A = this chain, B = another copy of it.
Amino acid sequence: MTSQESLSREKFRYEQIASDIATLIEKGTYQPGMQILSVRKMSQQQNVSISSVLQAYQLLENQGLIEARPQSGYYVRTASGEDFPEPEISSPSLDPSHVNLHDLMMMAMRDSLNPKLTQLGAAMPNLELLPTERINRIMAGLARTASKDIHGYELPPGLEELRVQIAKRAILSGCQLSPGDIVITSGGVEGIHLCLHAVCKPGDIVAIESPMYFGTLQILEVHGLRALEIPTNPRDGISLGALQFAIEHNPIKAVLTISNFNNPLGSFIPDEKKKDLVKLLARYDIPLIDNDVSGEIYFTEKRPMVTKAFDKKGLVMLCSSFSKDISPSLRVGWVAPGRYKNTVEWLKFTTSVATGTLPQMAIAQFLESGGYDHQLRRIRREYASNVALLSQAVTRTFPAGTRVTRPSGGFVLWVQLPENVDSLEIYKLALENNITITPGYLFSPTNQFSNFIRLNAAAWTFPIERSLVRLGDLVKESAEHGKSLY
């Protein structure tokens, strides 16, 4: 083949690649919201030049089928219509603040228990997608055969077989952990609570991503800690510049992030930036509590790394759980608390003695017997698709001026409503329509997000779609009404 022939062959190839991908999208192999192969991987796989792949992806972008996301890659677009823009980076107050949100949170918690309401707010995983049948079989088997063993205390650090499995999987997120580095907790929230307790005392300042999952804000409230909200980009997470500035001007005792798929943003801190974050905190000797509870639910091409992977000083306290991808009710999570391990272990023993034995055994057996990865692939595919479908529905039904996140993982959507819409007003109107959403107020101790709402995209059904349309109408009416008032 002459180089001329090779060139024209390449020209043909990029069109072929674009056409193949378009077919895969059409057939649903590539779901809306999912990442497609990176340029480098596609080039290797198809044995064509990088520039040909770039041309192919350009073509698909022009056709509105995929979209580039900076520092992340190419994703299948959320189809039809003009998309709403994303929310901008948050710009919270420069001063730390005590948290006082518990009445609002308990209200939201009670809503989530009400079976009469369509649950568009609470970040409950979709039980239909969880391996409940297999876990039940394992538990029934253990209850039949393990006899008395399942009734003794499994004191901290927790069941060794489970810690072995967790350490094994940690390698996939770039992390070298030994079973001895891990403390089992009763769910992820207990882990964060123990970590904060281990490194802070009442009145201390904790820097957090803004917005931040309200459950974590509540833990700050419980411990009498002050939150310093750091501007956070809906795509790549906490602003390191702003964090450094905050550190230089405040006696910050800990930093709290959800580096893989912030709840509610769906943002994720790229691995290189994670490294810089860990380095920055190492310079000031500040512990980082990183919540990786959604780390396995990525729409990106591969498992993102965890900040702990870059931790040389034992300052990173990595928290995770199996509540989002195996079972919420087993109440099994874990912490790799670095240099604070002894303290975390002591706090765990003192405040709750032990985590249940049977749930630990069941999860260890499930992880050991394989099938977890299969399970996770299914969850990722479904959640990416449901997030895209929900996002499309918001685009169709919400008024102009709305902004919507482009989550890189997890299963929630963060929606910025027009300026004049109040999320608590929408919360109340929705409730009258038997719909519950999570108002933005909950995600900041200083009311940064009064016109935001969080939506749960774990499931996509006809009743949910109908409720979403109704919700869109309510937002529209509220936006109109607001306009006429001013």
Give A residues with C-beta under 8 Å from B.
102, 105-106, 109, 112-113, 124, 127-128, 130, 132-133, 135-137, 139-140, 143-144, 146-148, 150-156, 186-187, 189-190, 193, 197, 201-202, 215, 218-219, 221-222, 224, 327-331, 342, 345-347, 349-359
Can you name the residue of chain B whose Cβ is closest to the Cβ of A191? Answer: B352
Contact between A186 and B153, CB atoms less than 8 A apart: no
Can you name the residue of chain B whose Cβ is closest to the Cβ of A357? Answer: B329
Assuming the contacts A190-B352, A224-B201, asked whether A144 and B155 have C-beta atoms less than 8 A apart, the reply is: no
Copies of the protein in its oligomer: 2
Assuming the contacts A202-B202, A351-B219, asked whether A124 and B153 have C-beta atoms less than 8 A apart, the reply is: yes
Q: Which of A105, A201, A351 has the most chain B CB atoms inside 10 A of its CB?
A: A351
A154 partner, pick from B124, B329, B354, beta carbons under 8 A: B329
Interface CB pairs A-B, < 8 A, 24 = A102-B350, A105-B349, A106-B349, A113-B155, A124-B152, A136-B147, A139-B140, A139-B143, A140-B140, A140-B144, A150-B329, A186-B331, A189-B353, A190-B353, A201-B202, A202-B202, A218-B350, A219-B350, A328-B354, A329-B356, A329-B357, A331-B353, A358-B358, A358-B359
Can you name the residue of chain B whose Cβ is closest to the Cβ of A360? Answer: B329
Q: Which of A106, A127, A356 has the most chain B CB atoms inside 10 A of its CB?
A: A356
A132 partner, pick from B151, B218, B354, beta carbons under 8 A: B151
Contact between B151 and A327, CB atoms less than 8 A apart: yes
Contact between B352 and A222, CB atoms less than 8 A apart: no
In angstroms, how far is the closest chain B Cβ from the Cβ of A189?
5
A351 partner, pick from B113, B222, B342, beta carbons under 8 A: B222
Q: How far is the CA of A137 from the CA of B150 in the complex (A)?
A: 12
A132-B150, A189-B352, A218-B350 known; 18 new pairs, CB 8 Å cut-off, are A112-B155, A130-B151, A132-B151, A136-B146, A139-B140, A139-B358, A151-B327, A151-B329, A151-B330, A153-B328, A189-B350, A190-B351, A202-B202, A218-B346, A218-B349, A329-B354, A329-B358, A331-B354
In angstroms, how far is the closest chain B Cβ from the Cβ of A131?
10
Question: Which residues of chain B are near A359, meaning CB under 8 Å?
Answer: 356, 358
Contact between A356 and B356, CB atoms less than 8 A apart: yes
Contact between B151 and A143, CB atoms less than 8 A apart: no
Can you name the residue of chain B whose Cβ is closest to the Cβ of A343? Answer: B102
Contact between A106 and B328, CB atoms less than 8 A apart: no
In angstroms, how far is the closest chain B Cβ from the Cβ of A242?
27
Question: Which residues of chain B are near A347, meaning CB under 8 Å?
Answer: 222
Question: Which residues of chain B are near A356, meaning CB under 8 Å?
Answer: 186, 329-331, 356, 359
